[in-house]
Amino acid sequence: MDTHDIIDHIAIPVKNITRVVEWYKTRFTCELIYQDDTWAMLRFGNIKLAFVLPAQHPPHLGFFRSDADAFGTLKTHRDGTRSTYIQDSEGNSVEILAVSRDLLK
C-alpha cells in the first residue's frame, strides 16, 4: 500500500492565462479543468498544472491531506476545493487541500 502524500498540482506564475492555456493544449495531450481571468488548471496523465497571475494567486505546490484542517482554517474556493496555505522552510507557498473522493479523480 502506497503511503506517500499526493501532489495534486503545481501552480506556476504566468502573464497571460488564455495564451499559456492555448500553448499547452496545442502541444500536449491534456484536459482543461477550469479557467477564468486569474487562473487555469490543466489535467495531465500524472498531475495537474495550474497557471496563476502572481498578483492574484501565489505560485505554489498543492498537496492533498486527510488532516488538512490541522494546517489551518480551510477556505472554500470557486472550484469547490477547500484548502489552506502555509510556507515551507524557504518561504515557498504550499497549499494543503482537503481530501474528497471527487477531487481524487
CATH code where residue 90 lies: 3.10.180.10
For the segment 19-33, the average pLDDT, to the nearest whole number, is 98
Locate 96 and state its grid cell: 494543503
Q: What is the pLDDT of residue 90?
A: 94
What contacts 15, CB < 8 A, 6 or more positions away?
A: 53
Domain assignment present for residue 105? The answer is no
Domain span at 35: 6-98
Q: What is the pLDDT of residue 104?
A: 47
The Cα–Cα gap between 104 and 96 comes to: 14
| Total number of domains constituting the chain | 1
Domain assignment present for residue 47? The answer is yes
Domain assignment present for residue 1? The answer is no
Domain assignment present for residue 85? The answer is yes
| Tens-place pLDDT, residues 46-104 | 999 999 999 998 999 999 999 999 999 999 988 788 999 999 999 999 999 998 755 44
* pTM, rounded to two decimals: 0.85
Domain assignment present for residue 74? The answer is yes
pLDDT band (50, 70, 90) for residue 3: confident
